[in-house]
Amino acid sequence: MNKKSVIGSFADMAIALSSLPPDEAFNVSAQAAARITGAFRSCVILKNKKGEIKIKAGFPHGAHGVGERVTGAAEKFLCKVMDGREPVFINQPASNPQTAYMKDLALTYGIASVFFVPLLAEKEALGVMVFDFTKRKKKYCNDGVAVARFLAREIEVLRHQKREREKEDRIQRLTLLGEHSAKIAHIIRNALVTIVGLLRRLKDSTSLSEHDKTLVLFIFNAMASLERRVNQALSFAKFSPEYLNPKKERVGSVLQSLVDTERTLHPNIHMHFEKGSEDTELLINKGWIENCINDLVLNAIDAGARNIWIATGKIQSEERFVIAVRNDGEPIDPMKINIKCLSEIFDPFVTTKENGFGLGLSIVKSMIQSHGGDIAVESITGCGHLGNTHTMFMIYLPM
């Protein structure tokens, strides 16, 4: 294939990935990859947010099980390729123990040489590109590596752009929600203040019978709870960037003071604080950051946590400061709260509590994003890189 055709094929991949729907774009990419490398077949396999490895596209079309999840044996081998971060060339895959999972496929199509190239982003492996180089010289492997590197870069750019769009959309939705919530909540709160005030006087009255006092107290508690929820709804309007008013603060000192207070308030909970080697100074709204951490601590206690760990660190390559808040309480199960993925826990009105309002974590995310940061969560039962059951929130702030 001449140089001009190669450049054209790379251009086809770039244009397809930036302008076509994902499925169609990856099919074009698989075809262009086969054209560039001279491979008889090519296949794009990607890992999704849930960690599942699925066949995204293939060439020739219709012969790769596109959209299906790979088998357990295939997943084990492909994960090994991704973890190794190096290409793997397999001769005679039908008889090679590493690729025993594709024996029938190799025999059916006469596949004698397969080249597996991990699709590597800066921080993670996105998937694997597979080439059928049967009756092709091994020199074509260099073209396969070049194609995989190009595709990985394009995928990483697209994913970054998608995350940014989702972030902007979410901020706009929350801002709009905040504006409407504030208008409605102000009207309701004015009435509630009057009602709660009168009930407070009535429940302390000496002229009521014990039965009537019980009823009044019940109504008072219900109205007070409603008042708290209305105040929480009003918070949406308060935590947008224009109200940030940040100041330079030593984050380690802020967190140490907060941990000391939490230990006093919750003596039965073991609070652990691991401050980084430096007491980093950041431009933050101290009260907002304290509110965020306090909300995460209270959520952990509500989930039955006995231990809560707060740790800080830096990601120098990204110029970001990290605050991790981990607990050993009951993990968050997306299925139980009717969400598709754990990241939706930050959406308004999503709650793990029976009587929860579902705005706490949305407000936390709004406060963090107003700082130009972000927040993520993982919740694991009895496995994972940290070992035991845990839920961990990671707050990322710009340095």
DSSP for 137-167, written as a single string: -TTHHHHHHHHHHHHHHHHHHHHHHHHHHHH
Gap between the Cα atoms of 76 and 95, Å rounded: 17
Exposed / middle / buried, residue 11 (Cβ in 10 Å: 0-12, 13-18, 19+)? exposed
Gap between the Cα atoms of 229 and 358, Å rounded: 10
Between residues 138 and 309, the one the model is more confident about: 309
Give the closest residue to 231 by CA, choosing from 280, 272, 182, 198.
182
Q: What is the pLDDT of residues 140-185, one digit of tens each?
A: 678 888 888 888 888 888 877 877 787 777 667 666 666 666 666 6
Model confidence band, residue 96 (pLDDT cutoffs 50, 70, 90): very high
Task: Confirm if 356 and 348 have CB atoms less than 8 A apart.
Answer: no
Query: Running DSSP on this structure, what letter comes out for residue 70?
Result: P
Residues contacting 399, CB < 8 A, separation 6+: 280, 282, 314, 319, 320, 321
For 53, the 3-state DSSP assignment is: strand
pLDDT at residue 343 tops 60: yes
pLDDT of residue 140: 65
Mean per-residue pLDDT, 282-302? 90
Q: Where would I find the H helices in 204-266?
A: 210-238, 251-265
Give all domains of the chain, ordered by start, each with its CATH number. Answer: 3-162 (3.30.450.40), 242-399 (3.30.565.10)
pLDDT of residue 332: 82
pLDDT of residue 2: 44
Model confidence band, residue 354 (pLDDT cutoffs 50, 70, 90): low
- Listing DSSP states for 334-369 in one string gives TTTTT-SSGGGGGSTT--SSTT--S-HHHHHHHHHH
pLDDT of residue 386: 47
Gap between the Cα atoms of 93 and 309, Å rounded: 48
Q: What is the pLDDT of residues 32-76, one digit of tens each?
A: 888 888 888 888 999 887 778 999 988 888 767 888 899 999 999
Gap between the Cα atoms of 153 and 45, Å rounded: 15
pLDDT at residue 138 tops 70: no
pLDDT of residue 296: 93
pLDDT of residue 275: 81
pLDDT of residue 259: 93
Residues contacting 367, CB < 8 A, separation 6+: 239, 285, 288, 289, 291, 292
Terminal-to-terminal C-alpha distance of the chain: 48
Average confidence score pLDDT of the chain: 81
Give the closest residue to 53 by CA, choosing from 80, 17, 32.
80
pLDDT at residue 231 tops 50: yes
Mean per-residue pLDDT, 334-361? 73
pLDDT at residue 101 tops 80: yes
For 60, the 3-state DSSP assignment is: coil
Percentage of the chain beyond pLDDT 90 is: 20
Query: Running DSSP on this structure, what letter comes out for residue 204?
Result: T
pLDDT at residue 330 tops 50: yes
Gap between the Cα atoms of 228 and 221, Å rounded: 11
Gap between the Cα atoms of 98 and 79, Å rounded: 12
Strands 125-132, 270-274: parallel, antiparallel or unpaired by DSSP? unpaired
Alpha carbon distances (Å) from 52 to 42, 67, 81, 127, 152: 20, 11, 15, 10, 18
Give this prediction's pTM. Answer: 0.50
Alpha carbon distances (Å) from 75 to 30, 78, 87, 118, 390: 20, 5, 16, 13, 26
Exposed / middle / buried, residue 286 (Cβ in 10 Å: 0-12, 13-18, 19+)? middle
Gap between the Cα atoms of 118 and 52, Å rounded: 16
Mean per-residue pLDDT, 304-322? 88
